[in-house]
């Protein structure tokens, strides 16, 4: 599945992104999609449930972020816009950065964050007045620790820049090259420092870290059935139609609608999707997607279990297990 659809706290990463965009009072959203278009379209729909209208813009292959702006030219017109990468997790949102952009309307405003090692990122070098002097993509010797984190605000000036640049050495139209073109032609480019939590949810470890972070903000809400032999801790959400039988759920954790937990210990830091079954299992620090089944597994942790996966016992002994399991997978785990 597209990584943007992997759920964090039982909501796809892309939905967290769309929530942040709607918080900026943006109601017209262009979603650039590639090979994962059918799955994304099915999951997100026309945007009505987000209070927005979504237009899907097809990119035939990855050609760079500036190419996303190029192919969206007809959709964007001459409006100001925000470009927001679909796998970015920023729980605090970017409303303050948007307000500063609306007030000053520089040609471009970049959202940046200080990082310990800027070398894997695009890096912004600033002048004393806070304007951007130069952008460097993945510098070997960074002169700044301000990394671009995948949120950009633009006026229509960016379209001339995108039209003027050539593909980079890797064959893509780089947004950093387009912004550098603006700088070279005297346009104002500013940087807005984001001080909240940020993670690019591109790896299993990052997804699990984001899950822990977002689950930490849960308030207890038990809509499902909990029998007398079960206990539910603080910061636990149990969806409608879910059932707890002889089990313990330790927060923070979220259990999706229709899921059955029997004779198990779940949590902390666990998100289980809809219509799952967990029996005689111990599960912590993990994400379980819709329809999965886990039984007689004594120590599952740090795992991502795909949709409709089946995990059960085998004849071998092991103290613990760590899995990243794809959709519709079946595995046997030592009990």
pLDDT top residue among 242 and 36: 242
Measured CA distances, 287 to 8, 39, 46, 321 (Å):
8, 20, 27, 14
pLDDT at 227: 97
CATH topology classification for 215-334? UDP N-Acetylglucosamine Acyltransferase; domain 1 (2.160.10)
Q: Could you tell me the two tokens for 81?
A: 């816009």
pLDDT, mean of residues 289-317: 87
Bridge-based pairing state of the strands 132-137 and 199-200 = unpaired
Q: Which residue has the tokens 């289980």?
A: 272
Asked whether the predicted pLDDT for residue 319 surpasses 70, the reply is no
Asked whether the predicted pLDDT for residue 331 surpasses 80, the reply is no
3-state secondary structure 70-96: HHCHHHHCCCCEEEECCCEECCCCCHH
Asked whether the predicted pLDDT for residue 322 surpasses 90, the reply is no
pLDDT, mean of residues 166-180: 91
pTM above 0.85, yes or no: yes
Q: For 204-221, how does the pLDDT look when each residue is reduced to its tens digit (9 = 90+)?
A: 899 999 999 999 999 999
Q: For 3-201, which CATH superfamily applies?
A: Spore Coat Polysaccharide Biosynthesis Protein SpsA; Chain A (3.90.550.10)
Q: Where are the domains of the chain?
A: 3-201, 215-334
What whole-number distance in Å separates Cα of residue 83 and Cα of residue 65? 9
Q: Phi first, then psi: what are they for 132, rounded to 5°?
A: -80, 130
pLDDT at 223: 96
């Amino acid at each position: 599945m597209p990584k943007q659809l992997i759920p964090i706290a039982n909501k796809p990463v892309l939905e967290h992104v769309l929530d942040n965009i709607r918080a900026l009072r943006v109601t017209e959203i262009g979603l650039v999609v590639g090979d994962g278009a059918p799955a994304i379209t099915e999951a997100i729909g026309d945007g009505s449930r987000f209070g927005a209208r979504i237009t899907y813009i097809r990119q035939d292959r990855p050609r760079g972020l500036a190419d996303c702006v190029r192919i969206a030219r007809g959709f964007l017109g001459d409006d100001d816009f925000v470009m927001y990468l679909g796998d970015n997790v920023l729980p605090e949102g970017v409303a303050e950065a948007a307000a500063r952009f609306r007030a000053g309307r520089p040609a471009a405003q970049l959202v940046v964050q200080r990082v310990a090692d800027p070398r894997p990122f695009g890096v912004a070098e600033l002048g004393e007045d806070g304007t951007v002097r130069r952008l460097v993509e993945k510098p070997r010797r960074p002169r700044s620790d301000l990394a671009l984190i995948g949120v950009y605000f633009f006026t229509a000036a960016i379209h001339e820049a995108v039209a003027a640049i050539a593909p980079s050495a890797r064959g893509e139209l780089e947004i950093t090259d387009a912004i550098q073109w603006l700088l070279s032609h005297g346009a104002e480019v500013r940087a807005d420092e984001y001080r909240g939590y940020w993670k690019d949810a591109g790896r299993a470890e990052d997804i699990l870290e984001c899950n822990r972070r977002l689950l930490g903000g849960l308030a207890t809400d038990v809509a499902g059935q909990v029998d007398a032999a079960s206990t539910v801790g603080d910061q636990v959400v149990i969806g409608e139609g879910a059932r707890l039988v002889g089990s313990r759920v330790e927060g923070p954790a979220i259990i999706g609608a229709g899921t059955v937990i029997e004779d198990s210990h779940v949590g902390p830091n666990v998100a289980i999707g809809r219509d799952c079954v967990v029996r005689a299992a111990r599960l912590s620090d993990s994400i379980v997607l819709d329809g999965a089944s886990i039984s007689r597994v004594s120590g599952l942790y740090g795992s991502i279990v795909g949709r409709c996966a089946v995990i059960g016992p085998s004849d071998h002994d092991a103290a613990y297990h760590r899995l990243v399991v794809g959709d519709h997978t079946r595995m046997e785990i030592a009990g």
